[in-house]
Each structure stands twice: as structure tokens, then as C-alpha cells.
Amino acid sequence: MASTSSPAVRARPGRAPHGQDGRRAAAQAMLMAAAERHRAKDYRTARDLYRQVLRHDPRQPDALHLQGMAMAALGEVAAGERLVRRSIALHPGRAAFWSNLGNLLSRSDRKAAAVDAYGEAIRLDPSFADARANLAGALASQERYPEAEQAARAALDLAPDHPTALANLAGALIGRHRFEDAEAPLERALALAPDGYDSWYNLGHLSMARGRADEAEHAFRQALRLDPHALEAVRWLGYACTRTRKGEEAEAHLRRFLAARPGPSNVHSMLGHLHVQRGRLADGLALLRQGVARPDAQSAEHSTLIFDLNYDPSIDPVALRAEHERWARRFALPHVLRSMPACTGHDPERRLRVGFISPDFRGHSVSFFFLPLLRHLDRSEVETFCYAYVDRPDAMTGRLREVADHWRDVRRLSDDEIDRQVRADRIDILVDLAGHTSDSRLLVLARRPAPVQASYLGYPNTTGTAAVDWRIVDAITDPPWADAHSVERLLRLDRCFLAYEPVDYPEITDPPCLVEGVVTFGSFNNMAKLNGAVFDLWARILHAVPDSRLLLKHDMSHDPVVQADVTAGFGARGIEAGRIRLAQRSDSRLDHLRTYGRVDIALDPFPYGGTTTTCEALWMGVPVVTLAGDRHSSRVSASLLHGVGLPSCVASTGDDYVLTATELAGSAPMLRTLRRMLRGEMAASPVMDQAALGHSMTRAFREIWRDHCARAARR
């Protein structure tokens, strides 16, 4: 969230001594003309005029300096830097030269050197507002947000209407999650300079931080229009396009950035995750590993890598645990070592204070499963606290807030501040609902703000850190042999570990095979879950069921690259393109669920199967065939199917998976019966027995608290 203002373009008029010849006078006039073209953003003409000046006087410092800045504006940043350094060598006391050197170093992604250059400019001229404003941007780019805010405010003390200082103050505030505070300075910056690159750039970051990817995309486009060579705008426009599902354009922007800066960066992580989401797993993981390998990689990038490894059928669960532990050693362990674990006493039977922390207390699949649990926890045993870092609260946020005993809006707080809040609330058991998913604050738990900590629901694997004591699962998702896959101890509920609550659903229609005469298989899971092994089994099913079709649907199924890859993948397995359909994403939940009316049998992918998609299919009367594998992510559907009374749809081998699907496809009467009965059966099943889940979880909390107290007594 850093930006730099355009350089002040000033050519100092020289005093011509008596006898100065006409050539030097002409060169001085040419320098002034060049500066005028520079201010008008006619950089090519300005550059050529500066060159002519330097032919007459190769040591003219203003011409050297400004030619360097003009060349940088044309994208020749390295050549521009060399010229600016030559001007500094001639006149090291000129603050403007140092400030603009800082600008070029920032554009070259050498932010530490840029900070030093701005510091020298400020030392030479403490009243130089431009240098202080740009220093704020460089500090923010290094995530030194308190210092960035201080520098921006110092610039504004000197020049209250400095657009770059206002924009970079907003950038520093965004970095500190003070989004509301960032609005006013950004609005003022845009009012003062509607064509200010820095204002649009930081507006893009504010919009992205608030989950408004469409607005962020527009803002970064505006920034890039104002400075077509600004690689930072290219980087973040690419990222915004990944969030607005413009896969081809996103890839083009990110590759443009890497062509200019091929060294490992977070763009490797951005492009890698995009590849994974488009179904190109191997390419994506290779790029993610490059990005994470650099010393300054962020915790969230490494979390993205290990999250995406859950899609990889070639990595075994023990190796997957090791990857999570590698993240924990790098990012969590430093906090664990310097934090004092919280203590709230050791009474095993008192009422417990249980906190839940999540970015997904909104219209998100996690909340659709969490709300029934929160509603049915035994309040005589448990007092609930929700720690919400939700940038765009919605109706679901409001429903959760009404049900929770205590609500803490922590979106503007740092990890340290959340740690202090949890300790102040004297939470006994803190439950993380996000794991290594997007926007997680798992490093809060690394600080040990509660004496007992657990992971539940939102992530299908270990967190990797011993700071989390328990993972809450069930006996089907995690049989006894799964203990070796988890750093945490596994707490197995005596039932399915979750309960479903459908909302906004349409009526069920007859199976389409009864009307069309052919069977349609379907999967509405993330395209990242569709790998070569999945294609192999699905192609076998399609070969075994003549004229059958496969309908795929997800947020990326509209992507031409995805469509071509899917068609080619099945084509290589002998399935003609006409049998594969890719549905566009739906604008509403109702429309999405109605699409199940086009599916006879749902096929669960592996090794990362469905949860929400499985529940939705079953609620819409569509049986789901799953392959129960060797890890939690491949066994959730098995737990759900056992819960609704369809254990026959759970396969243990690939051959069994194919046989189960083909046998279902061969019985239209069975499909019709399931279509009519499944919703009622599911409603009466443990999968929707929310009260039973609440009681089971209440007992589980008591069990792990008693265990904690007993261990404390033995110490």
C-alpha cells in the first residue's frame, strides 16, 4: 500500500555571466522548454531535449536529474536511476535529487534503500513535504505502518493538502486495518488530485481489504492508466482480477510483472494459487513454493501453499502434516516462545467461557454450519464469545451476533491486540474456525491467549502448531489411524462433527433422466479438486453408462482455459466434448440450488471432497457418491452420507466408486425414490439434528477442560 508522488519538475534558471556565448543561453532555454514538456507529461520530447542540453553541458545537474526522471516515466527505471545518481554526485546537497532517487528505488522494489534516500532528503531539507510523503509510502510497503503513519502526518503538518501524503496516510491506516479512518484522507486526496496515481492505488487496496474486488479492480485500472509502467499497479490489478474471476486477464498481468521482476515475490504465490483454482495443480504448487521460499514471504502466502497442498493426491497425510509443521516453525513458533500462556484457573466444573474466532461470520459456508451449533450450545455450561474480523458484515453477521452471548468486532485490531482482548475476556477455550484459509488470524492462537485452544470446522487438516491443543472431528472423518496426521490431539464427537441448516432453497424436481432419457452426473465442487485421478474414475463411469453426461459448475467454470483443460482432459480419456457441460456461476443461491435439477447423481472428488456441496446435493434430492480416503478432507462426505442413512454411497476403492455410480445410474426408479424421500430423510437425520450437535459439543468442551485441569494438577 505504498505509493510515491510525481517528482516536482523544476529547472533552475542560471544567471548568464557577461560574455556567455549564445550556445549556453540556448541550452538554458532548451532546459526550461524540456521542463515544460516534462510537466505536460510529454516524456519523450522532454527526454530528447534534456539530451540536447547535456550535449552542450554534460555536467548540467538539472538536465541529468530530470532526464533520469523522464526516462523512468517511460519505463527505463534503471537508466533513469543512473542519471539521477550522477546528478547527486555533482550536487549531493540537493534534497530533491535524493527524494526522486527514493522514488526510483521504490519503483525498483528496493524499499529499504528508498527509505534511506528519503531520509537523506529530509536531513537536507526538514521542510520537504514531498520527501516525507514518499517516505510514508516506502515504509508502508515494508509493512512498517506506524512509522508510515507518522511520516505521512509529518508531511501533512507541513502541507495539509498534500495529495500523496493523504493517500499514503490512508495506505498506512489500511495496513493497520483502520479502514474507516482511511476513507477521509483518500477522499480528500482524490478531490485534490483526481488523477493522482497514489490515491487510486491505495483506494484499490482499501477496496480489496473490504472484499470489494470489483471496486479494487477499477481503482487499480485507473492507477495503471495514470502510470502505465507502475509494476505495483500491474501486480495488484492482476490479483484483483483473480478475485473477480477474470482468470485469463489476471494471468496476463501477473506474468507481465514476473517478466520485469522474475525474482521470487508474492506474485509467484498469486499466480500459483490462480493456477490451482483453474485446475493446474502441479504448475500452481511449483509457483507457490517459489514464492514461499523467499526470506520475506508472509505467513498468509505460506498458508495458501499448504491449503492448496490439500488438493494434491500425490502427497500422503504424514508429509502433509510435515508441511504444516514447517509453517508453524517459521511463523507460529516465535510467538509461542515469547508469549506467556494464559491461565483462567483450574476448576473443572465451573461454567466455561468459550471463544470462537473467524473471518467468516457472514454469508459464508462456515457460518451456515456454525450458526446451528452456536444456537444449541448449553448456556448453563458455556458462555459464548465471538471474535469477528468481518470487513463486510451482512445479514448472517447480524444473526450470529444476536445468538452469541458476547460479540467482539476485532477487524481493526492487530494480532497482539486480539490477544490482549481474549486474555481480558478470560476465555477458557478458544476455537479457531479458519485454519489456513483466507484471512485467517491463526497467529493469534500462537500467542496462547487462552489456556485451551482448538481448531474446528473451517479447515480440513492440522494447523501444524502445538499452540492448538485439539482438533474437533468425528470417528468417520478421522479414524484411529488419523492421530498420526495431526499435531493436535483429536477430539472425536459421538456423532457427525457438524450439522447442516439449509436456507433459501427451491422445491425439488424429478430426476432429469426421467425426462431426457440419459443420466447426468454432476459436481459443483471447486475446480481445484478435479485432478487426473478424479478424471480417470469419472471417465470410467461415463464409459460404463452409455450416452451419460457430466455437468460441472463452479466460480471458475466459465473460464475459457478451464473449459479447454477439462474438455482436453476428458478427451484424452476417450470422452467426447459434447458429453461434458460446464455451467456458468449463479448470481443467487436459489439459482445455484436449482441447477441440481439438472443432475441425477453427484460425484464427490478426492482427495478433497465436498462439505457444503454434499449437503446441498442431498437436500436437493441428489445422491452423492464418494470415495472415502486416507485423510479428513476425503472423508467428510462419508460422515454425512452415514448420517443421512446412505452408507451404500460410500466407496472404499476406485473400482467400488465406479460400480456404485453405475449401479445408481442403472436404476431410474431408485433415483426417483431418492429424489422424493431424501430431503425428508435428511431433515430427520443426525446431519440436521442441531440440538444433538450442541449437546455433544458442550460435552466435548467440558471433557477437554477437565483434561486441562487434571494435567495442571499433575504438574
Instruction: Look up the pTM and report it.
Output: 0.89
The pLDDT assigned to 16 comes to: 41
| pLDDT mean by block of 10 residues, the chain; 715 residues | 53 46 70 85 87 83 86 89 90 91 89 94 96 95 93 97 97 91 97 95 94 96 94 96 96 97 95 97 97 95 98 97 98 97 97 98 95 98 97 93 98 93 98 96 98 98 98 98 98 97 93 96 97 98 98 92 96 98 91 97 98 98 98 98 98 98 97 97 97 98 98 90
Task: List beta partners, residue 431.
Answer: 356, 454
The pLDDT assigned to 504 comes to: 86
Please state which CATH class domain 512-688 belongs to: alpha beta
Please state which CATH class domain 24-92 belongs to: mainly alpha
Classify domain 339-493 at the CATH topology level.
Rossmann fold (3.40.50)
Q: What is the DSSP string of 338-356?
A: HSPPP-----TTSPEEEEE
The pLDDT assigned to 422 comes to: 98
How far is 131 from 120, CA to CA, in rounded Å? 9
Q: What is the DSSP string of 111-145?
A: HHHHHHHHHHHHHH-TT-HHHHHHHHHHHHHTT-H
How far is 624 from 618, CA to CA, in rounded Å? 7
Q: Are 600 and 665 in contact (CB under 8 A)?
A: yes
CA angle 223, 225, 229 (to 5 degrees): 85
Residue 626 DSSP one-character state: E
The pLDDT assigned to 55 comes to: 83
How far is 700 from 122, CA to CA, in rounded Å? 60
The pLDDT assigned to 210 comes to: 87
Strands, sheet with 650-651, edge to edge from the N-terminal-most edge strand = 580-583, 549-553, 520-523, 601-603, 624-627, 650-651
The pLDDT assigned to 60 comes to: 85
Burial of 596 (0-12, 13-18, 19+ CB in 10 A): buried
**Cβ within 8 Å of residue 29, ≥6 positions away:** none
